[in-house]
Amino acid sequence: MRNSTRTSVRRGFTLVELLVGMVIFAIIGTAFTKLLSVQGRFFDKQGMANAARNVSRASLNRVVSDFRMIEATGGVVAASSQSLTIRVPFAIGVVCGDLAGVTVLSLLPVDSASYASAGYYGYAWRNFQTGAYSYVENPSTEIAGNAAVCAAKNLTTVPPGKVVAVTPTVPVLAGLGAPVFLYARIRYELKASAAVPGMLGLWRTQIMPGGGELPEELVAPFAPTAKWRFFVLGNSEVAQDAPPAQLSNIRGLELHLDGISEYKAPGMVSNESAPFTTAVFFKNRTN
């Protein structure tokens, strides 16, 4: 009698094996999803932090270039912790002489675009005896000058410098070759942003001689802690919160340009912030 063994080949999975596989995949999928979620929040947080730092850095070059050029004794017109009105020089030169009710000046070369956009408000002349600058403005005019006046006094205008004429005339006591600079009146403010409603923005407003204003929002948003503090003559190593009673005693500014992100990162309860502090001391100072 022959016995034959019938061997059957099993195909597929049993229900138990399928359930076990599904459980394993679920565990791995949950862990992977959590990892992606954590990484996503991390990158979002980093992105918001970078945005906050960019706010602080974006305003720095423009602010510093203006603040450093302030003449110490008369450059600050009005000041508070979040508003500063200043006289910003944009061209320097010397007195050539008077002609037909105007004073002709020979100016050193300056970038033509910067000169055209500066916004003339007035001029200041330096007293040789005291070293102090006197400001002439409101009203004051600037027009093209007669180069022959400078040539007659053996004053050569360095190309591509300008020869201009200003009114009122510079006092006689200033003398030939007295240093003069032309300036714009600018107001910097930390106030409500138009670009990012509900937050602070840094504004630069050009004040015109006739009373008009040209406001420009430079960058936003800033944290409520953004402000500037004041270095004062006699204690110039430590900044103080309030401006001195005599604004001519200000010798520099401590800038707190604390930027924040425009949006909150997912899972965060507040906007990312980037505290930023730097100091600017006036260049045009005698003490």
Tens digit of pLDDT for each residue in 99-141? Answer: 999 999 999 999 999 899 989 999 999 988 888 899 999 899 9
Whether 287 is in a domain gets the answer no
Confidence of residue 280 (pLDDT cuts 50, 70, 90): very high
Give the chain's domain count. Answer: 2
Is 70 in the same domain as 132? Answer: no
- How many CB atoms lie under 10 A from the CB of residue 35? 10
Cis before 168 (ω within 30): yes
Tell me the residue range of the domain where 62 lies.
48-84+193-281
| Structural contact between residues 181 and 89, judged by C-beta atoms closer than 8 angstroms | yes
Tens digit of pLDDT for each residue in 191-244? Answer: 999 999 999 999 999 999 888 899 999 999 999 999 999 999 887 689 999 999
Quick one: average pLDDT of 136-162? 93
Is 274 in the same domain as 202? Answer: yes
Tell me, what's the pLDDT at 211? 83
Is 209 in the same domain as 79? Answer: yes
Whether 12 is in a domain gets the answer no
Whether 125 is in a domain gets the answer yes
Is 130 in the same domain as 147? Answer: yes
Is 169 in the same domain as 254? Answer: no
Is 96 in the same domain as 174? Answer: yes
Is 90 in the same domain as 78? Answer: no
Tell me, what's the pLDDT at 264? 80
Is 224 in the same domain as 163? Answer: no
Confidence of residue 154 (pLDDT cuts 50, 70, 90): very high
Quick check: pTM over 0.85?
A: no
Task: Count the helix, strand and coil residues of the chain and give each as a percent rounded to the nearest 5.
Answer: 25, 40, 35
Whether 13 is in a domain gets the answer no
CA distance 254 to 230: 6
Q: Is the pLDDT of residue 58 over 80?
A: no
- How many CB atoms lie under 10 A from the CB of residue 105? 30
Whether 109 is in a domain gets the answer yes
Is 73 in the same domain as 213? Answer: yes
Whether 7 is in a domain gets the answer no
Whether 141 is in a domain gets the answer yes
